[in-house]
Structure formats: structure tokens, C-alpha cells
Amino acid sequence: MTRAANWSTFGPFNVRMMCNRLSTIIANFQAGDPAALEIYFNMYKRPLHYFAKSFLKHHAPEAEEIVLDSFVKLWQQRANFNDEEKIKAFLYIVTKNACLSFLNSAYARQHFETELPDDLLAEDPEGHAKQIKAELFEMIAQEVRKLPETQQKVIQLSHYENKSHSEISEALQMSKNTVYVNYSRAISTLKKAFKSQKDWLFTFFM
């Protein structure tokens, strides 16, 4: 998705074309075009998954189910949306509410119908921060997917699974030096990719 912050680099004609394209996608979505739903699904599925996992922690399968269900609800109410920001807000709100409902029900089963503490069910003061974090992770993940396959695997194991270089060496059946070389090259490429971004974006990943 092209972000508004980058539009200043485009000419007026290109900005107008982008606006027209977004309007067409939204109109098609409201009309029930599955291709338009697929565009929004591909746009938001990964950041929403990160967002859900930030609430559910060790319940990864449930996080995925909740995200999929959020898109089902969006599709069922598609006629109500004429703005992309409203679509985005709806997806995050529905996902968050579903995560809290899941935590409440899981807690209740474990503690004989006892309710969760009120402060957990109250408005989450860090909810917006979690949303931003999820979207930043997705921006970085997009660049990681452009790396050579071996470098992708090294970054995945190192940063997403918190494995040491020794553990990565064993998992990928390669020497520690090869792991280090691939890791260093991957980090160098990612730094260049985010050179035009704010410094905090890449350090957030590190």
C-alpha cells in the first residue's frame, strides 16, 4: 500500500491516478467483488496477525483464526465502508475485541467461570502502539522477503525465533561462519532499504 507520506514524491497526475484507483477498489469492494477483498486481505493480513499475536502471545493458531474471522465480518458488512481508513480501523477493532474475548473465555474455562480482571478488559492504553508495531514489522517483513532464500532463513531464525548463530548453524546445516556472513549481508541490505526512513524504524527491528 502506498502511504500518504510518500505521495509528495509523485506528480499531481500520479497522485490523482492513485486516488482514482483507491476509489475504484473501494467501489468494487462494496459491490461484492472478491478481487477487491483479496487486495485488502493481502494488505492487512500480516500486520493484523502480528497485532493479534501481541495480545494472545502463545496462542498463534487462535490469532490466525481471529484474523480470518475479522475479514469475514468485514466482507459481511462491506456495504457500510466507503473509505479505506474505516476499513483499516474496523479490522483492528474487531481483531482486538476478538482477542480480548478469547482471553476472557480461556481464563473462564481455567478458573471456573471467573471473570478476567477489569483492567484487562478495559481500553488498552497500548493498543495503538501495538498496531503501529505490527505495521512496522510488516514493512520490515516485506523487505526480508526480497532477500535471497538463505538470508531469509537466517533472519527468520535469528529475529523471529530468537535462535543463536550456533542453533541456526545446526538447523540449517551450515558453518557458523556461513551463518554470520549471511546474517551480515542481510542486515546490510535491510539497512540500505530503510536508509530513507527514520532511524528508529530499523532500530525497532534490531
85-136 pLDDT per residue, tens: 888 888 988 998 898 888 877 554 554 343 444 444 444 545 556 666 666 6
CB-CB contact of 100 with 59 (8 Å): no
List the grid coordinates of 20.
482514482
What is the set of domains in the chain, with CATH numbers?
17-130 (1.10.1740.10), 146-206 (1.10.10)
13-17, 110-114, 174-178, 190-194: which has the highest mean pLDDT?
A: 174-178
Q: Where are the alpha helices (DSSP H) in the chain?
A: 12-30, 34-56, 60-76, 84-110, 118-121, 127-144, 149-155, 165-172, 176-193, 199-205
Q: Classify 21 as helix, strand or coil.
A: helix
Mean pLDDT, rounded, for 24-33: 90
Q: Classify 81 as helix, strand or coil.
A: coil
Question: For position 113, what pLDDT does the model report?
Answer: 43
Mean pLDDT, rounded, for 20-48: 86
Cα 23 to Cα 39, 61, 83, 119, 141, distances in angstroms = 13, 34, 8, 40, 27
Mean pLDDT, rounded, for 182-195: 83
**At 181, is the pLDDT very low, low, confident or very high (cuts 50, 70, 90)?**
very high
Question: For position 119, what pLDDT does the model report?
Answer: 44
CB-CB contact of 115 with 94 (8 Å): no
